[in-house]
Structure 1
Amino acid sequence: MSEFLWGSATAAYQCEGAWNEDGKGLSMWDTYCHSERNEGGISGDVASDFYHRYEEDIRMLAKSGQNAFRFSLSWTRIIPDGVGAVNQKGIDFYLKVIETCRRYHVEPFVTIYHYDLPESLYQKGGWENRETAVAFAEYAAVCFEAFHDKINFWTTINEPDYESMCGYIVGNYPPHVHDVSRRSKALYHMLLGSAMAVKIFRDKQYNGQIGLVYTPSSVQIRVDNEAYRQVAENAELYYNTAVSDVIVKGWFPEKLIAKMQASGLNLDYVKAEDKAVFQAGIVDFLGVNSYNRVLVKPYTAGESTMFMNNKGKQNKTNHASSIIKGWFETDFDPKAKYNPWGSEIYPDTIYDMLKDIKQMYGDIPVYITESGIGTYDELNAEGKVDDDYRIEILEGWVDGLLRAKAEGCNVLGYFIWSTMDLYSWINGYEKRYGLVYVDYEHDCQRIPKKSYSWYQKKIKENL
């Protein structure tokens, strides 16, 4: 197999479906999507039906020349109540997925947790409760023991930074609140749970490598003066090193702690004895989900808030925006292009991020674990999807990755989000990311898009 991993990615709740089959328990997303709060009534109950069509999907992935597949395990498919009894049918399902990957010479790249917290733990405070970190480590131990001899690449948690931000500041994910202090507490416990899991992995001396996936952004400013440079430093702490320093160096940046204390945030959940756990939880590699940069400007006024456009072109207020009180506000480049959901399309997104990581952490291995474009894909008269818009953007990002690699950045893999169309958190099914079109109205039929062929050619050129 080529040393460089070329692949694509999915997540359990977003693609599997089978939400109540074969002993699976409820996740907080099952409960939310079935509640009155879910205004559109759209859920991942069936999603892309990967649970029943995994072999077809992996076969198509391999046919395009991809040599790796990133997927997540469903916590409640393996441990239905979040803690306690293990569901063997859940274990068996993932064994079949892994075996299918191996049969098609595809490297399985496994994420243990991707947003789908067990409902039972959510009801007890979710990630704000330290016991959830303990429960996660116990769940990870079950996964390690079941699959360790078949997996070379593990990541503990997907995007603790982004999940906690959406749940506790934006408020569009459960628990739907707007509270910076509660967000900080949840993020802390997610990172603690990850460190506990890494320690178990090391103590058991399992083969393979283990990392964590986060969503760093290259922080940039449009005005070069002291005020702007200061808020850029604040944003770097908030968006990046609050996670990356912990998993690379084993503790939080002192400037971050001081800034949080000065902002009046409650840090009583931070325990002195945790530092040894974080030190033992340093990762082997960084999983980087890269979608855009972040432009910031000095804070002017207002409480901490974040807006994300989950309605696409139907939303009159298009651009995503953020205010972190006393820290920074997001800025906008009037010359930039934006997608229908208000995210900037910045050609050097991956290149800049890889150069930043190289400067901060030297040669730590990096895998781009997600990189993709959500848009309104439609079948044309010939029953095909000509997604030239996606191809143009991905081409620039991949070329930026290859340029960074040639300049000495230790990037070892690239995964497009996503393998096939799937349920997009809150956005439902209109926002499509896949290399393969899923026809939800006709039994989830798979139709490769033009980008599928583009990726096949791109991989062949760079093997």
Structure 2
Amino acid sequence: MDKFLWGSATSAYQCEGGWLEGNKGLSNWDDFCHSEKNNVNPVTGDVACDHYHRYEEDIRLLSEGGQNAYRFSICWTRILANSQSTVNQEGIAYYNRILDTCEKYGVEPLVTLYHYDMPVDLFKNGGWENRETVTAFIRYAKVCFENFGGRVKYWATINEPNYETYCCYGRGNYPPNVRDLSRRWKAMYHLLLASAGAIVEYRKLNYEGTIGLVSDSYSIESLVDNEQYREAMHNADLFYNRCVNDVAVYGEFPADFIEKLALDYDLSYMKKEDEEIFKKGTVDYLGINAYDRTLVKPYTSGETCMIANNTGDGVTKNSTIIKNWFELDEDPNTQKNAWGCELYPKSVYNLLLDLKDKYPNTPIIITENGLGYYDELVDGKVNDQYRIEFLNGFIDWIRQAQKEGCDVRGYFVWSTMDLYSWINGYKKRYGLVYIDYENDNKRIPKASYYWYKKKIEEELKNDE
């Protein structure tokens, strides 16, 4: 890794659209969004912001905004329509066109293999709860490596094993929409095994590149300093962070994490023969999606329950009780957005120092950081000063962490442009570029887009 990566990020289902084009197969999210279960914000990613047809405009805008890198994901079902299908050459050609366009505009691609979307036949056969999905993913990953490995220097295997399974099996707001932590841990185990297996296969091919995993990670903090609160913080760190990061970096689960799981769950899916794969499939770098801290307090009473604010109504509260582990706390003195995300940029500094302590030899790339908001188009412009303040604070704290020895190699804003925000729909916007969904998906750079260009220029000068 040489130049610092200054970029922004998207994912396939959230931005591409073209859901029935190019011999693409159906995914779990296609299935969910067209079902009665999609009842919170009942919209789909069928068109999204139409990146499938307008990728060149988006990558050109990204480059003109001073960004030298673009993180995007490959849609599994564009490459293999289902678990048994042959390679879809139209899908290969599409992603080669995206890579051509990145090359044309001097943009480094960071390519994620899996960002929540899988072939619907695998999903209906148990998804990540089924070990067969691990085999299918490794096959898919090899196809991608063999077709794009000579063109891509930065790979990420899996996006957010923690957050995806937290939503799928904890909150129950992502498909398969259940609340059962025993199923969560099984799915996460197979996600991590798939990542390690894909890394093993990548290294066999001897490409000149680097490969990692993307982990949503959190600075675990509390408002009280005593033994009970410190124990809650330790448990939350295992629950959100170390269950993924220790495996990615060291190739093994924390012993006390396994001990806690074994008290309540059947872990027979954890096979002895997997240990070698985990050890061989450790990451070259750790991608970190950093948005806010996790504030916790000791568990008091009640059953495990996770509630998400997906409406942005300012009324519904995010709340979490993990029985015998911890509960979420709330600081009444900090500002939050309508979805309950705390606007606390110093959290990334605290997180990076913790990661440096736990994984001192592992480079970090901030693969996502952003702020969801109800952006308004006024007189043809979006003046998102709140996002500028948020992002600027995060970048400044990242630079401070670098000065203190944290090996950070890149920073990606979520997101390149407005897109489908999973269960939150389209009103929650993250983009540096506004998408006018009512006017042929017109692209309108926001104030934050121009600020980010200037910020990158300033940072590059500081690095000289």
TM range (shorter): over 0.9
Partners of 2:345 and 2:157 in 1: CA distance: 29
Partners of 2:83 and 2:154 in 1: CA distance: 23
Partner of 2:96: 95
Q: Secondary structure at the match of 1:312?
A: coil
Q: Does 1:437 align with 2:434?
A: yes
Residues 92-171 of structure 1 aligned to structure 2 (within 5 Å): 92-171=93-172
Q: Is the Cα contact below 8 Å between 1:363 and 1:409 reproduced in 2?
A: no
Partner of 1:193: 194
Q: Does 1:421 align with 2:418?
A: yes
Partner of 1:275: 275
Partners of 2:333 and 2:408 in 1: CA distance: 30
Q: Is the Cα contact below 8 Å between 1:9 and 1:418 reproduced in 2?
A: yes
Q: Is the Cα contact below 8 Å between 2:310 and 2:424 reproduced in 1?
A: yes
Partner of 2:175: 174
Partner of 2:284: 284
Of 326, 329, 338, which aligns to 1:328? Answer: 326
Of 344, 358, 362, which aligns to 1:346? Answer: 344
Partner of 1:227: 228
Partners of 1:87 and 1:362 in 2: CA distance: 41
Partners of 2:132 and 2:438 in 1: CA distance: 42
Q: Does 1:411 align with 2:408?
A: yes
Residues 331-410 of structure 1 aligned to structure 2 (within 5 Å): 331-380=329-378, 382-410=379-407
Partner of 2:315: 316
Deviation at 1:407, TM superposition (A): 1.2
- Aligned AA for 1:290? A
Q: Secondary structure at the match of 2:38?
A: coil
Q: Secondary structure at the match of 1:446?
A: strand
1:194–1:453 Cα change, 3 Å: same
Deviation at 1:347, TM superposition (A): 2.1
1:356–1:441 Cα change, 3 Å: same
1:2–1:67 Cα change, 3 Å: farther
- Aligned AA for 1:360? K
- Aligned AA for 1:425? W
Partners of 1:349 and 1:397 in 2: CA distance: 8
Normalising by structure 2, what TM-score?
Answer: 0.98
Q: Secondary structure at the match of 1:451?
A: helix
- Any stretches of 5+ residues in structure 1 without a counterpart? none
Q: Does 1:447 align with 2:444?
A: yes
Partners of 2:292 and 2:174 in 1: CA distance: 20
Q: Secondary structure at the match of 1:76?
A: helix
Q: Is the Cα contact below 8 Å between 1:420 and 1:438 reproduced in 2?
A: yes
- Aligned AA for 1:266? D
Partner of 1:458: 455
Partners of 2:403 and 2:160 in 1: CA distance: 27
Q: Is the Cα contact below 8 Å between 2:197 and 2:281 reproduced in 1?
A: yes
Q: Deviations over 1:219-245 (max 9, x none)?
A: 111111111111111111111110011
Deviation at 1:79, TM superposition (A): 0.3
Q: Secondary structure at the match of 2:424?
A: coil
Partners of 1:20 and 1:204 in 2: CA distance: 32
Partners of 2:330 and 2:443 in 1: CA distance: 38
Q: Deviations over 1:141-160 (max 9, x none)?
A: 00000001100000001001
Partner of 1:43: 44
- Aligned AA for 1:311? T
Q: Secondary structure at the match of 1:202?
A: helix
Q: Secondary structure at the match of 1:189?
A: helix
Give the CA RMSD over aligned residues: 1.0
Q: Secondary structure at the match of 2:265?
A: coil
Q: Secondary structure at the match of 1:338?
A: coil
Q: Deviations over 1:2-58 (max 9, x none)?
A: 711000000000000000001000001001111122124300000010000000000
Equivalenced residue count is 459
Partners of 2:42 and 2:408 in 1: CA distance: 40
Identity among equivalent positions (%) equals: 57
Partner of 1:298: 298
Q: Which moved more, 1:346-355 or 1:388-397?
A: 346-355
Q: Deviations over 1:295-337 (max 9, x none)?
A: 1111011221211100002x522x3121111000011111111
Partners of 1:165 and 1:171 in 2: CA distance: 8
Q: Secondary structure at the match of 2:438?
A: coil
- Aligned AA for 2:112? T
Partners of 2:432 and 2:302 in 1: CA distance: 41
Runs of 4+ in 1 over 2 A off after TM superposition: none
- Aligned AA for 1:353? L
Partners of 1:172 and 1:225 in 2: CA distance: 34
Partner of 1:77: 78
Partners of 1:232 and 1:22 in 2: CA distance: 47
- Aligned AA for 1:234? N
Partners of 2:172 and 2:143 in 1: CA distance: 32
Q: Is the Cα contact below 8 Å between 2:42 and 2:425 reproduced in 1?
A: no
Q: Does 1:209 align with 2:207?
A: no
